[in-house]
Amino acid sequence: MQASDFQALGVAETFFRALTKLNYQTPTPIQIKAIPPILAGRDLIGVAQTGTGKTAAFGLPLLQHLIGGERRQGRGLPRALILAPTRELALQIDESLRQLASGLPLHTTVILGGVGRRPQVERLMRGTDIVVGTPGRVLDLLQTRDLRLTAVTHFVLDEADRMLDLGFIRDIRKIISALPATRQSLMFSATMPDAVTRLADGILKQPLRVEATPDKITADRIEQSVYFVRSGDKRALLSKLLADPAMARSIVFTRTKHSASKVAEYLCSGGTEAEALHGNKSQPARMRALARFRAGQARVLVATDIAARGIDVPDISHVINFDLPNVAESYVHRIGRTARAGAAGIALSFCDSSEIEYLRDIERLTGAKLTVAGGTTAPASTSRPQQQQRQQRPAQGRRNFARRSSRAA
Ligand code: AMP
């Protein structure tokens, strides 16, 4: 037995077959740090973002506790509650738990808004061990008493920072007040601003804090470059780049939902299979878009930050920032979609004259200068990207860009 393997962490043999099937050969750092204390029953704060293997970090010990605990408690009475900020993340957690628990007599139910409540209620009535849900619908079903939390022994709050960003704090507090006082609570968050720490104080008892992969390490594995381009030329540049078959599975990020739709339409009209993913789409439409992208029927997914948050699609070849995010942390989250589970990845960013400050913030946060791949010496932004300018500093790119802009004006 090797010190680093799952068995050494205390994971029961009953999960080995699922781990082999999933090809999880070695635990990730967050799994190494989090699994033993969770198995020992401790409350825990995991500072880790999606992509670090955090779902299995809490999922494996959670399932192991449930297998060892008393059997199903009956209608609408789950033993574990997992809250996630977005529907996509909730579905993904549910899927991961099902895979890890395959062959075991454990039932999960997903509770989310945007889809009919009746099938969810019916499933709860059949009896479930685990509920994975978004706060709004969970609270809704709690208030109608279709869901009761009195038998919950394990509670997980995932992506706590994003929960607060999305304004779920009141819903979360109400849900927590319906939980039994005696329980194990786990919280995961990519960042730990004061508001998250305060929330943790109210939920967790003497929690152990574990951290994995600071943002910079993720960013270090990713080849990052920037194209200085006029706003109106971004779509043409994107098409041009996507002509390269190496861009086999790419996520394109836009700042607005409207822009996500427009860019996807533009690509489709040019013959590139693309899907848009954003909050204005119905839940079934979002699921369809994601499924087509996952299956490779669409090469490109054009998404907003919130819609793409937490989405885990393996083998993303490129992340393209069609618009730079105005919050630098979002850049790190975005590019983390590529370079999953140790793989290398490529991130390309488009920067127009209104986004120079955002670029500066990103470089400050990651501590790295982005390689200038286009728009420094070439006129107009749709010109062929200039590769191999690795040593060029963005300051120079900015100067050239400014010169070009004033010429264009
Ligand atoms: P997560 O952070 O939970 O969203 O996981 C990110 C990705 O890593 C998912 O595709 C997982 O299936 C994968 N993963 C999780 N744990 C491991 C592991 N120990 N070895 C390889 N891949 C893993």
- If DSSP codes are grouped into helix, strand and coil, which group holds residue 77? coil
Ligand 1, pocket-test mutation among 82, 94, 96, most atoms within 8 A of CB:
96
Nearest partner of 301 among 349, 264, 355, judged by Cα:
264
- If DSSP codes are grouped into helix, strand and coil, which group holds residue 276? strand
Total residue length of the chain: 409
In the block, which residue shows the tokens 């070439």?
378
- If DSSP codes are grouped into helix, strand and coil, which group holds residue 365? helix
pLDDT at 309: 67
The domains of the chain, with CATH numbers, are 3-212 (3.40.50.300), 222-407 (3.40.50.300)
pLDDT at 341: 52
Output the 3-class SS for 112-145.
CCCCCCHHHHHHHHHCCCEEEECHHHHHHHHHCC
pLDDT at 71: 63
Residues with CB under 6 A from ligand 1: 24, 26-28, 31, 50-56, 312, 314, 340-341
pLDDT at 326: 83
pLDDT at 274: 96
Please list the ranges in the chain whose pLDDT falls under 50. 1-4, 214-215, 217, 377-409
Most distant pair of Cα atoms in the chain: their distance: 73
The model's pTM: 0.62
Chain mean position to CA 65: 26
Report which ligand 1 atom has the smallest distance to the Cα of 28: 19
Give one DSSP letter per residue of 166-187, joined into a string. TT-HHHHHHHHHTS-SSSEEEE
Q: Which residues neighbour 234 within 8 Å (Cβ) at sequence distance 6 or greater?
A: 322, 350, 352, 381
